[in-house]
Amino acid sequence: MKIYVKNGTPANTGSLCENCAMGFVARGYGETELLVVCNAMRPAQQVRFAIRTCTGYVERNKPAIWEMEEIARVLDPVALKRDIGFSRDESTGKKDEKIELVLDKDSR
């Protein structure tokens, strides 16, 4: 299965710090009033430019492993009387089908 993505990367994506759990971003009323502090660096440092990639990036909206373990359900295979997990739907029989993912709704 092949996946093609059209218009996947916007021209101005902003800073990676805006979605990072280790970043502090404060915006003023003016376009240039912006304060970004990175808490991943020790001691915390002010960042003066937009960040594209970062080795200390921690996604803000993604739960931690221990949070996912708290909400996970424990499945007992004896009580279910079948295998646990996902199964592939072989009824379609199409292995070389193509999927197109369009992220910009104006480009139809």
* Token duo for residue 27: 């915006």
pLDDT range class, residue 24, cuts 50, 70, 90: very high
Say what the pLDDT of residue 60 is: 87
Answer whether 0.75 is exceeded by the pTM: no
Q: Who wins on pLDDT, 39 or 105?
A: 39
Q: What are the residues facing 54 on neighbouring strands?
A: none
Q: Is the pLDDT of residue 107 over 60?
A: no
Nearest CA among 100, 102, 94 for reference residue 2: 100
Q: State how far the Cα of 100 lies from the Cα of 3, in Å rounded to an integer.
A: 6
> Whole-angstrom Cα distance, residue 26 to residue 34?
6
Give the model's pLDDT for residue 93.
58
Instruction: Choose among 16, 13, 35, 15: nearest CA to 24.
Output: 35
- The C-alpha atoms of residue 13 and residue 52 are separated, in whole angstroms, by 9
Are the C-beta atoms of residues 8 and 105 closer than 8 Å to each other?
Answer: no
Q: Is the pLDDT of residue 38 over 90?
A: yes
Looking at residue 1, its amino acid is: M
In tens, the pLDDT along 57-101 reads 888 888 878 888 888 877 666 666 666 666 665 655 566 667 777
